[in-house]
Amino acid sequence: MPRAHDETPDLFTPTDREEKVPPPLAERMRPRAFVDFVGQDAITAPDRPLRRAIEADQLSSVIFWGPPGSGKTTLAHLIAQHTKAQFVSFSAVTSGVPELRALIKVAEQRRTMNKQRTILFVDEIHRFNKAQQDAFLPHVERGTIILVGATTENPSFEVISPLLSRSLVVVLTPLSDEALGRILDRALVDVERGMGKWKPRFSPEARQQLIVFGNGDARALLTSLEFVVMQTAPGPDGVRVVDEATLEVSLGKKALRYDKAGEEHYNVISAYIKSLRDSDPNGALYWLARMLDAGEDPEFIARRMIIFASEDIGNADPMALVFATSVAQAVQFVGLPEAQINLAHGTTYLASRPKDNASYVGLLEALKDAKSHGNLGVPLHLRNAVTSLMKDMGYGTAYRYVHDDP
């Protein structure tokens, strides 16, 4: 909410003598209309229900779920432009329940006195715990607010069920290379909001490499672009030429030998997992080295180790899961380049352990049964009898407590 007028000078407010710092490129290039919004055609094409609802100003509560830089906040900005409702942004990082209560009070007054709805955009809604999320529920139910949430986390686990059931969940995917390319090209030539006035000229190889570095994240792409262009000295003609070498020096990243979103990425990780499964530590180390040399995210490799420990080793060595989790923690704590040693340690351990996939196979069979037989009722003897009425209904009857009756 806007701050009340305060006569005390703000040390962080630019004075008339200071030049106002422009916002980052990613913010300047934020699409202002659906025609400029690229990469999420499955939900924003002209015939899609979400877009029609936004343009008709008939939006109900919605949660945008997607990775960073996929367009969640931009969609919220587009909603603000198309609605007659009061649009209010609210951050789960910087605000809490007291601020929410004050906001709701104003929204109720607005609804009563002006007959105007309030759309509340909550960025990073997953940062609110379950009890804090409960504070939204009655106001969503009464229609005091229309909730628009954004999260990078699975809302099935991070958003309370009552709130989830009253909201449409819209899934955004990482942006394709083609979409990132369109965003990049637009920023390169846009003189008013982009980098056009600095006359950048990217070689085809550098352009493609920057897209790969973006890894589906438009914000990361534009942040890297701005940094590279501003770090590149202009030539006599004012043109800033960027090639692969310039890119590597500016960003401190080595050119990837495979596209992390492409086929070769999955081929290499497949070879790595199969080497672990075949108990081939030397082969697994080779494919690990290939991934690290290509610039693969070490946390991605660590996550695959954790999955492998349960899927392919299982109860043949229950400590494998503990060990793999420790490797992942070490990778986060140590960081590259030394974390490569932790990954190598984990690789040779997992490759050398006995293998058992019974838990994984059993889960697949159980899921098959659960889907084919529907929501079968829990047998009475397995139900928990916590009240006398439940006991009278037969809950827990004939259950044999094995510790007393081995």
Q: Both 220 and 287 in a single domain?
A: no
Do 321 and 281 lie in a common domain?
A: yes
CATH number, domain containing residue 131: 3.40.50.300
Residue-wise pLDDT tens digits, 329-346: 999 999 889 999 999 999
Query: Quick one: 166 and 271 in the same domain?
Result: no
Is the Cβ–Cβ distance between 132 and 96 less than 8 Å?
yes
Q: What does DSSP say about strands 240-242 and 146-151: parallel, antiparallel, or unpaired? A: unpaired
Whether residues 325 and 204 share a domain: the answer is no
Domain assignment present for residue 13? The answer is no
Q: What whole-number distance in Å separates Cα of residue 79 and Cα of residue 51?
A: 9
Angle made by CA atoms 93, 184, 191, in degrees to the nearest 5: 95
pTM recorded for the entire structure: 0.63
Residue ending a domain, among 118, 152, 171, is 171
Asked whether the predicted pLDDT for residue 255 surpasses 80, the reply is no
Residue bearing the bigger pLDDT, 270 or 264: 270
pLDDT at 77 over 70: yes
Give the number of residues written for the chain.
406
Give me the CATH number covering residue 210: 1.10.8.60
Kindly state whether residues 246 and 278 are assigned to the same domain.
no
136/243 same-domain check: no
Biggest alpha carbon–alpha carbon distance for the chain: 91
Same domain, 275 and 344: yes
CA atoms within 13 A on the CB side of 86: 18
- Weakest-pLDDT range from 8-12, 72-76, 203-207, 208-212: 8-12
Do the domain assignments include residue 3?
A: no
Asked whether residue 78 falls in the same domain as residue 143, the answer is yes
- Residue ending a domain, among 144, 171, 198, is 171
Q: Is residue 15 part of a domain?
A: no
Q: Is the pLDDT of residue 46 over 70?
A: yes
Residue ending a domain, choose from 314, 333, 352: 352
Number of domains in the chain: 3
Q: Which residues pair with 65 in a beta bridge?
A: 151, 171
Return d(Cα 240, Cα 232) in angstroms, integer.
Answer: 6
| H or E stretch covering 55 | helix 49-55
Same domain, 236 and 338: no
Residue 216 pLDDT class (50, 70, 90 cuts): confident
For residue range 285-328, list pLDDT tens digits in order: 999 999 998 878 899 999 999 999 999 999 999 999 999 999 99
Mean predicted confidence (pLDDT) in 170-182: 94
Same domain flag for 65 and 160? yes
- Specify whether 105 is located in the same domain as 160: yes
User: In 190-318, where does DSSP find H-type helix?
Assistant: 204-214, 218-231, 244-251, 263-277, 281-293, 298-308
Provide the domain limits for residue 149.
40-171
What pLDDT is stored for residue 86 in this prediction? 92
Residues 142 and 195 in one domain: no
Among 90-94, 135-139, 252-256, 277-281, the range with the most confident prediction by mean pLDDT is 277-281
Percent of residues, the chain, with pLDDT higher than 90: 63
